Chain A
Amino acid sequence: MTPPSWNVIGKPIPQVGSRQKVTGEALYTDDLRIPGTLVGKILRSPHASARIVRLDVSAALALPGVHAIVTGKDAPRPFGVLPISKDEPSMGIDRVRYVGEPVAGIAADDEWIAMEAMKLIHVEYLPTKPIDDAKQALAEVANAADKIHPGTKFGNNLHKMVEQHFGDLPKAFSESFHVAKGHFEYAGISHTFTEPMSAVAHFDRDGRLHIWSATQVPHYLHRAMSEVLGLPMSRIRVIRPNVGGGFGGKSDPFPHEMIASLLTMRCRRPVRITFDREEVFISHHGRHPSEIDVAVGCDKNGRLTGLDIDALIDGGAYGSFGVVTSYYNGVLAQGPYRIDNFKYRGRRAYTNKPMSGAMRGHGAVNTRYALELLFDECAEKVGIDPAEMRIQNALPAYTTTINDFRITSNGVVECIEKVRDASGWKDKRGKLPFGHGIGLACSFYISGSALPIHRTRTPQSTVHIKIDMDGGVTVHSMAAEIGQGSDTVLAQCVAEILGLDVSWIRVKTEDSDLAPIDLGSYSSRVTFMMGNAAIKAAENIREQLRKAACRMAGGEPTDWVFRDAKVINTVDPSKSMTYMEALDEALADNGALIASGWYQSPKLGGAYKGAGAGLSPTYSFGAYITELHVDTETGFVHLDKIWAAHDCGRALNPLAVKSQIIGCVHMGLGQVLMEQWDFNHRSKGNIRNPSLLDYPMLTAKEMPPVDVFIVESDDKEGPFGAKEAGEGPLLPILPSVGNAIYDAIGVRMRELPITPASILRALEAKKKGKS
């Protein structure tokens, strides 16, 4: 099918606002300077687990220059992004559950006074024995009060357990030609976005609370603040300035946002809290440290027969997005292959560590790694090319999975073919000299969670458009631009429908007083949902302009097309007029033109428990190939080249899609080769590497060249056919490296990150196994 000829859609354009960002003109939260702003600092627990016996702030409060101090008792109501696990207090009340948990907040004239004041706050702790990891959390606890969260229904420190069965797995496995099994372990990792968290709160004299915060979820922040602070939402205004990256690390309401608010409500002066990098590592809600057992069966022709997943994930001290993660570790393995017998158990444990939560590729990344490595083992046993076997097993377009996911557009086979042919796969796989290897893996990811987090009939995304006599199009939406480019998508969608170029569009997505609700930048939902809402709003405006054109020049509304800032009559071109002329007429009996458009997911899914998890109006697909070589003396993996194909339905902005894919490759390579929060039993609950020096993410020097292939499967429900490109592209990079390492040196690495030392250990074990 040849795509329609669009003017704006499908053109590679730099992001709206990007010139301001690269020149330093753009302002971020910490750049805000409201006169009279105080510096807020958070006193944090030095213990992983302790009772607070006494907390005395009087000496600190007496220090000149200190304006307010708040503690847990000032806001006892716990919160959390998910209504089902609101378990986190703004500050520890009678106990603390991880090193770094807030205990008090201070507002002072400057940072030095605040730090001096911190030393004057007297806290007496009674340390208790911490739970260090998820396995320890499984031990029964005799006395419920000794659990990290006494109120849970389990007799140990489990937070959540989910189980699902489809088909008949024992039978499928018993009849399988081969069942590949493995125990996989994954270190926790961090998003390492550029901008540390920052919030400025101001309670004005009229009793309204304004908060500027580096957040991905202004709407959830809005709700949580209302609950914790006891103010109606209408008296709270949330502003999201430019955000320097999030990747899921800014997708919860956070204690510091509550603390800044409590402080300003106490002293009525604006309060700014900006984290240092260590505080970011303490507060980030990164990817769960996980242990996952996976078994994949296949028949003698290489058809997958069944899949068994058992995941135990370390949630840290509080819930965050953990219930969702508990599901995603299993259910998002339902594609891109057809698997009719499926069993899943997911368990999330509370431990005395900073909490884990959502991170790019949420819940799907670790299981994907295991599944794709075991898939290759099956291919080897059957004696079939792993690329062919993947094509054979691919879900078709427009089908339903065993767990009732509705699959629509699906370009996975095209993705596989693209990277297979471009990389020279057939001449390389199994044929490169020892130490050199090539590996393939696929992906499957949601394009927007179909279920909103809160039970509400409010649409998931609403967009408002306003046009006045200057012709500029003001577009309002609360969709959070966090550097991923959602403002540009918004501008493009509206510009395309109205036949304007992007410079006519003024995107306003910062301010909850002005912009209608969008649920936020998570679950790869924004392009799909906000894009559809924007199209609807713009179409509504276009109707008004069409009617005006008819009034001016006659003809039918359907006669008009909008292009190059002109309203063109396709029947009688002499009737055509400029956009400004049509607008002038349209304004005549209207005042300004205004319109609203919205998106709500269709009803989807089955009726079983947990059926909502993983439902999405559409799914993205992809396939990557990595070529690398291993220095077998040092164990270092050197990346030679990546071929990355991703089905995003339609690339509304190919430049942005390409950047997302390369960014995903960079992030995934970090997890597979070097990143980890290093916890050491002797560091007493401290992350041992809470800095960008000691927590290694790839630098430009380690980045291999990436050839990007955008596959456009034209999704019928997507805006102009689009679906997500922000998270799914992360998934295949990790297992493509794992599979390439196997091709290079014959070992399947089951622990991430794959360090040089672990490569040498694996090589030695292989040698011993053979001799």
Chain B
Amino acid sequence: MILPPFTLHEPKTVDEAVALKTKFGKDADFVAGGTDLLCNYKYEINAKPHVISLGTVTELKSFDTTRIGAGALLDDVMTDSGMRRDLPVIPAAIGVISSHLLRQTGTVGGNLMVDTRCFWFNQSKFWRDSISGCLKSEGDACRVVWGAKECVAVYSGDLAPVLITLGASVTIAGPKGRRVVPLGEFYEHDGIKRHVLGEGELLVEIRIPTEARTWKASYRKLRTRESFDFPVLGVAVAAKVDGDLLLDAHVNLGAVHTTPLSRDGAISQFIGKRIDEATASEIGEAVADGLVIHNNTAMTPAYRRKMVAVFTKRCFLDVTGKRAVAETASR
């Protein structure tokens, strides 16, 4: 498999990048680390004739514990001592993204923007052609849900659920200037549409409220192997606690829906309660209850639903100090 040919553009500033994207519109993609985009290009998935590199835009690269430039390398953020001290859940979650090599190339912005995934889509051109494609590629029918008009490809990034539970927002730059959107409102349903970015827009930075440092947070990730694999479930929990008393909490699930999925609504009844093994289990069941998970990634929907309950329980035990917060965010 070789890359389809494209013209590479290397803007120096955000404004130049926006101008290029506005000019080429649907004929162009941004590329940061390329660890997601270029894999898809090799599969001839929605490859464009123009690629605009963000690697040359220095403004995007800097970060501290209040803001992370979209172009910051995953590995740099993961190993940063300030991050480890103030927001340890972020380095922990980054530590389970893909592999050591990819984290030295992949960026935080690219991770938030990682394309949705589905067994029927993430395949070679030859493979897709042999099933006549799907809604998200060359075809006109969904291979997962018969007759579906909307794409159910799964949002499979690890960081977004964590950042959403921490109350992060994103700064977006576009032809009309800059705007700030809560990350929880950034993603939009349908595996094709994915997010609210408009024509010519790009992610500039992620802002993290300082209050997040006073919350306890945990991220647990389900996958077959402890390295390399995309999540087939990610559970992020951030909570304001007083010992085992739950004062406030956010739960967000990755890799079970087309977007990161907030389950705050399912846990409101537990706010103000003390968390022990039994209540944590109840929270887990409540979060799993009624979830619709499709059969389009590794591991069966029934199993993943069960694991939503187990992982949520474990996360709540983590944040209330009942279980040591995992050094890495696995299982």
19 contacts between A and B (CB under 8 A): A44-B126, A634-B307, A674-B224, A683-B120, A684-B130, A686-B127, A688-B119, A689-B119, A693-B228, A693-B229, A694-B119, A696-B225, A699-B226, A701-B226, A702-B226, A756-B303, A757-B299, A757-B302, A760-B303
The count of chain B contact residues (Cβ–Cβ below 8 Å) is 31
Q: A631-B331, A634-B310 are in contact. Are A686 and B130 (CB under 8 A)?
A: yes
Return chain B residues, CB-CB under 8 Å to A683.
Answer: 119-120, 131
Q: A696-B224, A699-B226 are in contact. Are A276 and B1 (CB under 8 A)?
A: yes
Q: Known pairs A685-B130, A688-B119, A693-B228. 15 more at Cβ < 8 A? A: A46-B126, A276-B124, A278-B126, A633-B310, A635-B303, A636-B331, A686-B127, A690-B127, A696-B229, A696-B298, A699-B226, A700-B227, A755-B299, A756-B303, A760-B306
- What is the CB-to-nearest-CB distance from A367 to chain B, in angstroms, rounded to a whole number? 26
- What is the CB-to-nearest-CB distance from A624 to chain B, in angstroms, rounded to a whole number? 22
Residue-wise interface mask of A (266-302) relative to B, using a CB-CB cutoff of 8 A (1 in contact, 0 not): 0000000000101000000000000000000000000
Q: When the two chains form the complex, which single residue of A47, A635, A698, A756 contacts B130, counting CB atoms closer than 8 Å?
A: A47
A682 within 8 A of B: yes
The count of chain A contact residues (Cβ–Cβ below 8 Å) is 35
Return chain A residues, CB-CB under 8 Å to B227.
Answer: 699-701
B101 within 8 A of A: no
Beta-carbon contact of B307 and A694 below 8 Å: no
- What is the CB-to-nearest-CB distance from A701 to chain B, in angstroms, rounded to a whole number? 4
Residue-wise interface mask of B (286-311) relative to A, using a CB-CB cutoff of 8 A (1 in contact, 0 not): 00000000000011101100110010
Residue-wise interface mask of A (511-534) relative to B, using a CB-CB cutoff of 8 A (1 in contact, 0 not): 000000000000000000000000
Interface SS majority for chain A: loop
B242 within 8 A of A: no
How far apart are the CA atoms of A162 and B207 in the complex, in Å? Answer: 69
B61 within 8 A of A: no
Return chain B residues, CB-CB under 8 Å to A699.
Answer: 225-228
B16 within 8 A of A: no
Beta-carbon contact of B226 and A694 below 8 Å: no
A99 within 8 A of B: yes
B129 within 8 A of A: yes
How far apart are the CA atoms of A408 and B37 in the complex, in Å? Answer: 58
Which residue in chain A gives the minimum CB-CB distance to B119? A688
Return chain B residues, CB-CB under 8 Å to A693.
Answer: 228-230
Residue-wise interface mask of B (197-229) relative to A, using a CB-CB cutoff of 8 A (1 in contact, 0 not): 000000000000000000000000010111111
- What is the CB-to-nearest-CB distance from B40 to chain A, in angstroms, rounded to a whole number? 12
Beta-carbon contact of B303 and A99 below 8 Å: no
How far apart are the CA atoms of A634 and B232 in the complex, in Å? Answer: 13
A111 within 8 A of B: yes
Beta-carbon contact of B131 and A674 below 8 Å: no
Which residue in chain A gives the minimum CB-CB distance to B299? A757
Return chain B residues, CB-CB under 8 Å to A756.
Answer: 299, 303
Which A688-710 residues sit within 8 Å CB-CB of chain B? Answer: 688-690, 693-694, 696, 698-702
Beta-carbon contact of B225 and A701 below 8 Å: yes
- What is the CB-to-nearest-CB distance from B98 to chain A, in angstroms, rounded to a whole number? 10
Return chain B residues, CB-CB under 8 Å to A112.
Answer: 2, 5
Return chain A residues, CB-CB under 8 Å to B103.
Answer: none
Which residue in chain A gives the minimum CB-CB distance to B314? A633
Return chain A residues, CB-CB under 8 Å to B1.
Answer: 276
Which residue in chain B gives the minimum CB-CB distance to A698? B225
Residue-wise interface mask of A (739-766) relative to B, using a CB-CB cutoff of 8 A (1 in contact, 0 not): 0000000000000000111001000000
Return chain A residues, CB-CB under 8 Å to B298.
Answer: 694, 696
Return chain B residues, CB-CB under 8 Å to A276.
Answer: 1, 124
Return chain A residues, CB-CB under 8 Å to B225.
Answer: 674, 696, 698-699, 701-702
B240 within 8 A of A: no
Residue-wise interface mask of B (112-133) relative to A, using a CB-CB cutoff of 8 A (1 in contact, 0 not): 0000000110111011011100
How far apart are the CA atoms of A44 and B229 in the complex, in Å? Answer: 29
Return chain A residues, CB-CB under 8 Å to B124.
Answer: 276, 278, 690
Which residue in chain A gives the minimum CB-CB distance to B229? A696
How far apart are the CA atoms of A756 and B143 in the complex, in Å? Answer: 26
Return chain B residues, CB-CB under 8 Å to A278.
Answer: 124, 126-127
How far apart are the CA atoms of A631 and B222 in the complex, in Å? Answer: 13
How far apart are the CA atoms of A427 and B2 in the complex, in Å? Answer: 56
- What is the CB-to-nearest-CB distance from A602 to chain B, in angstroms, rounded to a whole number? 46
Which residue in chain A gives the minimum CB-CB distance to B300? A757
How far apart are the CA atoms of A100 and B303 in the complex, in Å? Answer: 32
Residue-wise interface mask of A (244-278) relative to B, using a CB-CB cutoff of 8 A (1 in contact, 0 not): 00000000000000000000000000000000101
Return chain A residues, CB-CB under 8 Å to B300.
Answer: 757
Return chain B residues, CB-CB under 8 Å to A690.
Answer: 123-124, 127
- What is the CB-to-nearest-CB distance from B153 to chain A, in angstroms, rounded to a whole number? 15
Residue-wise interface mask of A (668-679) relative to B, using a CB-CB cutoff of 8 A (1 in contact, 0 not): 000000100000
Which residue in chain B gives the minimum CB-CB distance to A100? B126
How far apart are the CA atoms of A760 and B307 in the complex, in Å? Answer: 11
Which residue in chain A gives the minimum CB-CB distance to B124? A278
Beta-carbon contact of A46 and B130 below 8 Å: yes
How far apart are the CA atoms of A46 and B129 in the complex, in Å? Answer: 7
- What is the CB-to-nearest-CB distance from B219 to chain A, in angstroms, rounded to a whole number? 16
